[in-house]
């Protein structure tokens, strides 16, 4: 009978992949230490290596700026809508 599929947390995957990147232990040693297949460790290591350049990109800063401006415009719209609602409430009460 085969092994039951296991789910690992992102923190665990990151920990193992970072250890693999440090290369203080061989893949076989890490696999034994964490009860994993070496190919799984290689896979997680590749994910980290692929994502590292993005951590240093300006795109991330641009995304944050875009999000901040969207939040600001949404708060402005909420304020306008509240003012319109209050104005309409007054008019209904006057009638």
| Tens-place pLDDT, residues 33-74 | 999 999 999 999 999 998 888 777 776 677 778 888 899 999
Contact (Cβ atoms closer than 8 angstroms) between residue 93 and residue 86: no
pLDDT at 51: 86
pTM of the model: 0.56
Q: What is the mean pLDDT of residues 70-89?
A: 93
Q: Is residue 87 very low, low, confident or very high in pLDDT (cuts 50, 70, 90)?
A: very high
Q: Does the structure show a pLDDT above 60 at 1?
A: no
Structure tokens at 66: 């875009």
pLDDT at 2: 59
Q: What angle, 0 to 180 degrees and rounded to 10, lies between the N-to-C axes of helices 38-55 and 10-22?
A: 90
């Amino acid at each position: 009978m085969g092994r039951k599929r296991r789910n690992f947390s992102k923190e665990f995957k990151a920990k193992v992949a970072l250890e693999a990147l440090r290369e203080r232990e061989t893949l076989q040693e890490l696999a034994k230490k964490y009860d994993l297949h070496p190919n799984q460790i290689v896979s997680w290591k590749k994910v980290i290596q692929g994502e590292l350049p993005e951590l240093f990109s300006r795109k991330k800063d641009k995304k944050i700026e875009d999000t901040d401006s969207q939040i600001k415009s949404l708060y402005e719209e909420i304020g306008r809508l509240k003012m319109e609602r209050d104005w309409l409430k007054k008019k209904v009460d006057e009638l």
